[in-house]
A and B are shown apart, each in its own frame.
Chain A
């Protein structure tokens, strides 16, 4: 198969700007009460950690956690290779917490559904909000972000890839167009 062209949607400075804006919106929405930021493995956790660093620098009382949703996926049956489990780490009481959930790309919404199911298994949060860097549409569940970096229009079969230095050695959001499956 020939390599499809990769279109750059966001460059490193754009990503930095979007993340700063998400952090600012969070502070604006929640001026006083403590927050718990939870990132979904792997790139949601990196996005989350960056926002967390900004909030901490502003002196906000904030907790940080990560969520591995592998065991809550609704498609485990069909997978020939099972996802590795890294485990979730929520080092704060979920009961009564104001949680903001982070993921890099919002697509069908199924990952977020799984994350919500997992969170409530730890306790009953007072509130859960959602922050994403990119919303590419094609939702299959009634889920919408509260904080959004960039909304982009895509075809169902396009591939959107968020790259962070920590995991990919480069920064950027890329779109690869591919023909619909027959």
Chain B
């Protein structure tokens, strides 16, 4: 039986930093019954009936967008996808003009992904719609962190005192920032292992850094979280070659066997670069949580959509827009 009252609703979800521990736990608790819905004959509930969710993706994405779309549809919302390459932004329209246009279509929720950090927050300030950050530059990817925390809780129960080792490209990773923050807020111990060129400066003290993969595994993490090597974000060369990266920072066959011996759970936000971050065998390992992360993403995003509350539209400020 739930004992504490649910936290007050927010308008936007922009990062993990601004969430309290109670809010995070509430969202994780709420995601669990949503997951149970997936086994019903009718997988939808009418909580967001009549609402419109706009997926506003200024950066390519298939799985995150699909996950949000399914989450919204299972809450009975209507979903519109706007991909940058097909929109007038390529014709020179500014972000705010795009948002204004969408607003005049009475959108209730906007799911925003952009290559520049801060764009979702910027949009949130200019729309009464509830805004969810679906990844902005190197900054944050809060729903990924929530689904990861949900997946970890599902695997081991209480997370306080558990250890997570984050491996790979920390510098370019919004997933790293959000996952390490959520782990910290849930009282987990956070370890990192990465090429020195890919460790952000100003790393918080609570993170323990390791010099070799073996040393990191000796620390006995409960979870090894492999970050995707963001090849598309790397203009400069941060390491000699992919083969070299795999050899030093990847989950090689040897290290995988060590993880299996220790019963360590393996996670990855996807999509996986096979042979770079990990060897193929990992994907069939019983404690590989990668597919569960994908499944849980829908439940976690449903919890977020359920919790957020769009502001009441200020009628006086409404603009007359002519659809072309």
Residues of A within 8 A of B (CB): 42, 68, 70-72, 76, 79-88, 95, 117-118, 121-123, 167
Q: Verify A72–B2 contact, CB threshold 8 A.
A: no
The 13 listed contacts between A and B (C-beta, < 8 Å) are A72-B45, A72-B47, A80-B8, A80-B309, A81-B8, A84-B2, A84-B26, A85-B30, A87-B36, A121-B40, A121-B42, A123-B41, A167-B1
Contact A82 B34 (CB under 8 A): no
Task: Give chain A residues whose Cβ lies under 8 Å from the Cβ of B75.
Answer: 71
Contacts of B307 in A (CB 8 A): 82
Chain A contact residues: over half helix, strand or loop, or mixed?
loop
Q: Do the beta carbons of A84 and B42 come within 8 Å of each other?
A: no
B44 partner, pick from A86, A87, A121, A167, beta carbons under 8 A: A121
The 6 A-B residue pairs with the shortest CB-CB distance in the complex, in nearest-first order: A87-B33, A121-B42, A71-B45, A71-B47, A84-B2, A85-B33
Question: In the bound complex, do residue A81 and residue B306 qualify as a contact, i.e. CB atoms below 8 Å apart?
Answer: no
Please, how many angstroms separate the alpha-carbon atoms of A42 and B3 in the complex? Answer: 13
Question: Which chain B residues border A118 with CB–CB below 8 Å?
Answer: 45
Let me know if B106 is at the binding interface, CB within 8 A.
Answer: no
In the complex, chain A residues whose CB is within 8 Å of the CB of B29: 84-85
* Beta-carbon contact of A87 and B45 below 8 Å: no
Given contacts A71-B47, A71-B306, A84-B26, 4 further A-B contacts (CB under 8 A): A71-B45, A76-B47, A82-B309, A121-B40
Question: Which of B6, B40, B46 sits near A81, CB closer than 8 Å?
Answer: B6
| Contact assessment for A121 and B2 in the assembled complex, using a CB-CB cutoff below 8 Å | no
With contacts A71-B47, A87-B32, A87-B36 taken as known, whether A81 is within 8 angstroms of B41 at the C-beta atoms is no
What residues of A have a CB within 8 angstroms of the CB of B309 in the complex?
80, 82
A45 to chain B minimum Cβ distance, whole angstroms, is 11
Find residues 67-96 in chain B having any chain A CB closer than 8 Å to their own CB.
75
**Chain A's nearest CB lies how many Å from the CB of B135?**
25
Q: B194-251: which residues lie under 8 A (CB-CB) from chain A?
A: none
B45-66 to A contact mask, C-beta < 8 Å, 1/0: 1110000000000000000000
Place the interface of chain B in its size category. 20 to 34
Query: Which residues on B are within 8 Å of A, measured CB to CB?
Result: 1-2, 5-9, 26, 29-30, 32-34, 36, 40-42, 44-47, 75, 306-307, 309
- Pairwise interchain contact A84-B45, C-beta atoms closer than 8 A: no
Whether the pair A121, B45 counts as a contact (CB closer than 8 A) is: yes
The distance in angstroms between the C-alpha atoms of A80 and B42, with both chains bound, is: 28
B143 to chain A, nearest CB (A): 17
Q: Once bound together, how far apart are the Cα atoms of A167 and B32, in whole Å?
A: 23
Bound form: Cα–Cα A32–B32 in Å: 37
* Known contacts A72-B46, A121-B41, A122-B40; is-contact A86 B306 (Cβ 8 Å): no
Q: Kindly report which residue of chain A lies nearest to residue B303, judged by CB atoms.
A: A85
Q: How far does the alpha carbon of A167 sit from the alpha carbon of B7 in the complex, in Å?
A: 22
Contact yes or no, B5 A81, CB < 8 A: yes
Distance from A126 Cβ to chain B, minimum over Cβ atoms (Å): 16
In Å, the complex CA distance between A72 and B42 comes to 13
Q: Which single member of A82, A117, A122, A123 contacts B6 (CB below 8 Å)?
A: A82
How far does the Cβ of B48 sit from chain A's closest Cβ, in whole Å?
A: 8
Q: Are B46 and A85 in touch, CB under 8 angstroms? A: no
A76 surroundings in chain B (CB, below 8 A): 47
Smallest beta-carbon distance A109→chain B, Å: 17
From known contacts A80-B8, A80-B9, A85-B30, infer whether A122 and B45 are also in contact, taking CB-CB under 8 Å. Answer: no
Of the candidates A79, A85, A87, A117, the one having the most CB atoms from chain B within 10 angstroms of its own CB is: A85
B9 touches A81 (CB 8 A): yes
A72: which B residues are within 8 A, CB to CB?
45-47
Complex contacts, B2 vs chain A, CB 8 Å:
84, 86
Contact between A84 and B41, CB atoms less than 8 A apart: no
CA distance A76 to B47 in the complex (A): 7
Q: Please measure, in the bound complex, the distance between the C-alpha atom of A40 and the C-alpha atom of B199, giving whole angstroms.
A: 52
Contact A71 B46 (CB under 8 A): yes
Q: What's the minimum C-beta distance from B158 to chain A, rounded to whole angstroms?
A: 19
